Amino acid sequence: MTKCGYVSVVGRPNAGKSSLLNWLVGEKIAMVSHKANATRKRANIIVMHNDDQIVFVDTPGLHETEKLLNQFMLDEALKAIGDCDLILFLAPVTDKLTHYENFLEKNKKNTKHILLLTKIDNVTNSEVLEKMREYRKYSDKFEEIIPVSIKKQTTPSDILKEVVKYLPEHPYLFDPEILTTEHLRDIFKEFIRESIFENISDEIPYETDVLINKVEEKKDIDVVKATIIVQKGSQKGMIIGKGATAIKRIGKDARIKIEKLTGRKCFLELFVSVKKGWTKNKQGLKDLGYDVTF
Ligand SMILES: Nc1nc2c(ncn2[C@@H]2O[C@H](COP(=O)(O)OP(=O)(O)O)[C@@H](O)[C@H]2O)c(=O)[nH]1
Ligand SMILES: [Mg+2]
């Protein structure tokens, strides 16, 4: 009998959740940003380890918030915590223990979890050991604590073999050939959003989203048409930039990511449209795929 189950990947914004999942699956699927709160929805990323199947769930970061879009994001993370076989809690090694303590409070069902100390390439070995000692006072709460860096050392199988130990015996939930249940157009959307986070400063990326209007597979090229949605008229100019330099850069960066994933040429055409205050009301959010149910 094979093992198979859902593993939610949670932690504060910027803990390294999406990066870890791309690294574990060996393909860039989830968007990553040095800016916090880039990931907005749950996404399944499927990794095979020998004959076992792990369905990882990438989540938005756990954070306190007033804004409606962020409340949607937090709700997504809480749903993932409440509904899985195992949790990977990611704590950057330089963090205080408060984020972990907050998570323990939110893990109402006491779902088993592995604590991953991330970004250990940023500190010395003795600092890693010191942090592991600090967490020891919670050793009755977590199954294991594993230090990781996706930049050096650690191989994915070190983590995968620990994860499968805690999964139930179960037939595969998905075709073992697929890497994600996300539709290609949703991955493209995330790549464009990532490029906006990379190229546009300040708050604008947080009030921006992307609609994929059309994906057309032609013989030698994919044609993708997408609209960048902003919430104020003034933001439109910032996205386009002087002489359209900003939008050209966003388009080029996103196109390169799309081509790398598909292995095909892509023609990406971007438009910009204003949807006044879309992050601030439920209908505006719903229209962009963030269905607020609370
Ligand atoms: N130095 C270092 N940086 C990392 C590591 N993992 C992720 N990062 C960086 O941390 C930032 C946040 O990553 P991301 O995956 O978007 O975090 P998320 O918000 O938890 O999904 C990005 O700039 C990553 O490049 C790591 O192992 N070492
Ligand atoms: Mg993320």
Distance, CA of 142 to CA of 90 (rounded, Å): 12
Q: Which atom of ligand 1 is nearest to the CA of 32?
A: 16
Residue pLDDT, tens place only, 196-246: 999 999 899 999 999 999 999 999 999 999 999 999 999 999 999 999 999
Q: In this prediction, what percent of the chain has a pLDDT beyond 70?
A: 100
What tokens does 242 get? 């002087």
CB within 6 Å of ligand 1 — which residues?
11, 13-19, 32-34, 38-39, 61, 118-119, 121-122, 149-151
Cβ contacts of 102-105, under 8 Å, gap ≥ 24: 102/62, 103/10, 103/11, 103/62, 104/138, 104/141
Please state which CATH class domain 184-287 belongs to: alpha beta
Residue pLDDT, tens place only, 6-57: 999 999 999 999 999 999 999 999 999 999 999 999 999 999 999 999 999 9
pLDDT at 153 over 80: no
User: Residue 117: which pLDDT band, with cuts at 50, 70 and 90?
Assistant: very high
pLDDT at 119 over 80: yes
The phi and psi torsions of 233 (rounded to 5 degrees) equal -55, -40
**Residue nearest ligand 1's atom 3 by CA:** 119
**CATH fold for the domain made of 4-165:** Rossmann fold (3.40.50)
As a whole number, mean pLDDT of residues 55-82 equals 96
3-state secondary structure string, 123-163?
CCHHHHHHHHHHHHHHCCCCCEEEECCCCCCCCHHHHHHHH
Q: Which atom of ligand 1 is nearest to the CA of 58?
A: 21
pLDDT at 154 over 80: no
Please state the domain extents for the chain: 4-165, 184-287
Distance, CA of 282 to CA of 262 (rounded, Å): 34
Whole-number pLDDT of residue 74: 96
Environment of ion ligand 2 (residues, CB < 5 A): 17-18, 39
